[in-house]
Amino acid sequence: MPIRTVASQPFPDQKPGTSGLRKKVKVFQKPHYLENFVQSIFDTIAAPQGATLVVGGDGRFYNRTAIQTILKMAAANGFGKVLVGQGGILSTPAASNIIRKYQTYGGIILSASHNPGGPDGDFGIKYNGNNGGPATETVTEAIFARSKVLAEYRILDAADVPLDSTGSTRLGALQVEVIDAVADYAGLMESLFDFGAIRSLLQGGFRIQFDAMHAVTGPYAREIFVNRLGAPAASVMNAVPLEDFGNGHPDPNLTYAHDLVEIMFGQNAPDFGAASDGDGDRNMILGQRFFVTPSDSLAVIAANATLAPGYRKGLAGIARSMPTSAAADRVARALNIPCFETPTGWKFFGNLMDAGKVTLCGEESFGTGSDHVREKDGLWAVLFWLNILAARKQPVETIVREHWAQYGRNFYSRYDYEAIPSDAANGVMQHLRGNFAALTGKSFGHYTVQTCDDFSYTDPVDGSVSTNQGIRILFSDGSRIIFRLSGTGTEGATLRVYLEAFEADVARHHLDAQEALQSLIQIALNISELQTRTGREQPTVIT
Ligand code: G1P
Ligand code: ZN
């Protein structure tokens, strides 16, 4: 089979964002677009001849086409073996596990996470290194730099490879091995959590409902909850992965996981509900008529970690992204372990985990995980909760309320203004930056601004510095307002406003978060001139 060298032109827009390169499917379908980026990855990582690569995606539209291209390019670029998930499918955490378990030269993950799919939806691609985690900023910058000058790529002229059953095929000198996408991952989960205790909990009548949102976790959830833990088949809903996610928005939050929310807030609600996103790395946790914020979830998991066999020895440390609430910091302080504050995006946790500095990580954006892989992990979080519930034998709500009573409550909410003109979004950020001095020391009723800054982070392991990671308005009582531009949107700009207020007084813990945060929201709108500058009265989504 001949290797072809194809002349191409650079694409100046191939800059990877928070989690890889994300664009509309239509953009990826442009001639040479995907190929150009894949060749840039291969040129940058410079794998030794004969190296092994992992390839898999969340099953969205264009996944199969992209995988065939990547396989033929891997064959033409000297790889010896590619491990592909059956049907081209691998959840992001499962891919991370396979890279680590089989010690491959990293992997390519195809996903636009929680963004809608289908021909008019989004697609994405990223490279994860041999630790199983997203490439560091240094590597993604190098890939971007390469993509800007690349003039040709190499591809094998060959027929498509069958991906639907497990087994081995040859593609020129390359061995393509289609592997069971679920087995290794399910085994890993069984090694971390007390499946026996969870099985007994379920046998005792404890009812769970998991929403796979027609995305990648369906087959994983069936194997784990139904086959291995004995839950009824109906406890996994929307379990068949679809290329367009059944026309849904596979983002596990109160807005988009509405099927599940209706069940969990309805009559005769199950005891526990959860959902995961397009590629299986996010999670939402619900009790009976009760929502657990991702920031609280991280803190509760941290406080109860030793109840799970895989964490019996305790935690080395915790890391959270800067906009995530400080609830986990309070647990870290009580446990006398370090807590790290990183920029948004999972890639910043990798170095800390590799260096053994942290065990648990979390983000407010429905991402929780640990050093068992180098990605956030939706089903892992669900199983951690089930393990805690099996051990404590209390309802979800009681566990969270007892947590607040002990540590205080961090009221939290995020307002997203999606698809606004980039100029307007940048204008809001510039306006705020210009006012740091004027805001410092200023009082707004009960709230006094202590400091304002542009968050920057120095990696404690490799010393690399990341600047402009979000504007922080910090108040003297520990409350915070954060403004940040999204790095994953594919249309215009998305402006995120994060609000957090700490409340020690148990008598006020029953308040609704929106109620408790009302004055902070007003202050945020006021100081940012957001409404006039963007023309948006209301946010697109509140979580
Ligand atoms: C969003 C989330 C961020 C998460 C990322 C990938 O990024 O806010 O926490 O790591 O998706 O799932 P953003 O669009 O804010 O850049
Ligand atoms: Zn995701």
Final residue in a domain of this structure, among 407, 431, 457? 407
Closest C-alpha residue for ligand 1 atom 4:
345
| Ligand 1 close to Cβ of residue 488 (< 6 A) | yes
Are 362 and 398 within one domain?
yes
pLDDT at 87: 95
Which tokens in the block code for residue 23? 């664009």
Q: Hey, which residues are catalytic here? A: 113
Are 393 and 448 within one domain?
no
| Ligand 1 close to Cβ of residue 346 (< 6 A) | yes
Closest C-alpha residue for ligand 1 atom 13:
486
Are 113 and 13 within one domain?
yes
- For the chain, the average pLDDT equals 96
pLDDT cut 90: percent of the chain above it: 95
What's the whole-number mean pLDDT along residues 107-124? 95
Which tokens in the block code for residue 42? 């291969």
What's the whole-number mean pLDDT along residues 357-371? 97
68 Rama sector, left if φ>0, alpha if ψ -120 to 50, beta otherwise: alpha
Are 166 and 209 within one domain?
no
Are 204 and 284 within one domain?
yes
Query: Cα(40)–Cα(535) distance, rounded to whole angstroms?
Result: 39
Domain harbouring 109, CATH code = 3.40.120.10
pLDDT at 164: 96
| Ligand 1 close to Cβ of residue 345 (< 6 A) | yes
What's the whole-number mean pLDDT along residues 411-440? 95
Note the ligand closest to the C-alpha atom of 22. Answer: 1
pLDDT-derived band at 435 (thresholds 50, 70, 90) equals very high
pLDDT at 1: 78
Closest C-alpha residue for ligand 1 atom 15:
486
pLDDT cut 70: percent of the chain above it: 100
490 HSE (CA, 13 A, CB side): 22
Are 349 and 433 within one domain?
no
Which tokens in the block code for residue 493? 């700009």
pLDDT tens track for 284-318: 999 999 999 999 999 999 999 999 999 999 999 99
Length of the chain: 543
pLDDT at 535: 93
Number of structural domains found in the chain: 3
- For residue 534, pLDDT over 90 is answered with yes
pTM for the structure as a whole? 0.94
What's the whole-number mean pLDDT along residues 259-264? 97
pLDDT-derived band at 177 (thresholds 50, 70, 90) equals very high
Final residue in a domain of this structure, among 374, 407, 440? 407
Best substitution site from 21, 297, 344, 495 to test ligand 1's pocket, by max atoms within 8 Å of Cβ?
A: 344
pLDDT at 137: 84
pLDDT at 193: 98
Locate the ligand 1 atom nearest the alpha carbon of residue 496 and give its number: 15
172 HSE (CA, 13 A, CB side): 22
- Please report the DSSP string for 154-219 in residue order: EEE--PPPP-SSSEEEEETTEEEEEE-SSHHHHHHHHHHS-HHHHHHHHHTT--EEEE-TTSTHHH
What's the whole-number mean pLDDT along residues 192-215? 98
- For residue 18, pLDDT over 90 is answered with no
Q: Which amino acid makes up residue 159?
A: A
Are 423 and 395 within one domain?
no
Helix ranges (DSSP H) in 361-408 = 378-392, 396-407
State which residues form the domain around 197. 184-407
pLDDT-derived band at 487 (thresholds 50, 70, 90) equals confident
What's the whole-number mean pLDDT along residues 360-379? 97
Q: What DSSP character marks residue 280?
A: S
Task: Identify whether the C-beta of residue 528 lies closer than 8 Å to the C-beta of residue 483.
Answer: yes
Are 248 and 366 within one domain?
yes
pLDDT at 279: 97
Parallel, antiparallel, or unpaired for β 409-420 and 541-542? antiparallel
What's the whole-number mean pLDDT along residues 157-181? 96
Are 331 and 379 within one domain?
yes
pLDDT at 19: 80
Q: Which amino acid makes up residue 525?
A: L
Angle at 372 between CA 466 and CA 249, to 5 degrees: 70
Best substitution site from 91, 325, 363 to test ligand 1's pocket, by max atoms within 8 Å of Cβ?
A: 363
pLDDT at 443: 96
What's the whole-number mean pLDDT along residues 373-383? 98
Residue 160 CA, ligand 2 centroid: distance in Å: 28
pLDDT-derived band at 451 (thresholds 50, 70, 90) equals very high
pLDDT at 494: 94
Give the CA radius of gyration of the chain. 23
Are 398 and 414 within one domain?
no
Are 344 and 444 within one domain?
no
Final residue in a domain of this structure, among 407, 433, 461? 407
pLDDT tens track for 28-66: 999 999 999 999 999 999 999 999 999 999 999 999 999
- For residue 508, pLDDT over 80 is answered with yes
pLDDT at 352: 96
- For residue 490, pLDDT over 80 is answered with no
Residue 447 CA, ligand 2 centroid: distance in Å: 35
| Ligand 1 close to Cβ of residue 348 (< 6 A) | no
What's the whole-number mean pLDDT along residues 277-285? 97
pLDDT at 294: 97
pLDDT at 492: 87
Query: Cα(163)–Cα(157) distance, rounded to whole angstroms?
Result: 18
Task: Identify whether the C-beta of residue 237 lies closer than 8 Å to the C-beta of residue 218.
Answer: no
Closest C-alpha residue for ligand 1 atom 10:
345
Are 146 and 232 within one domain?
no
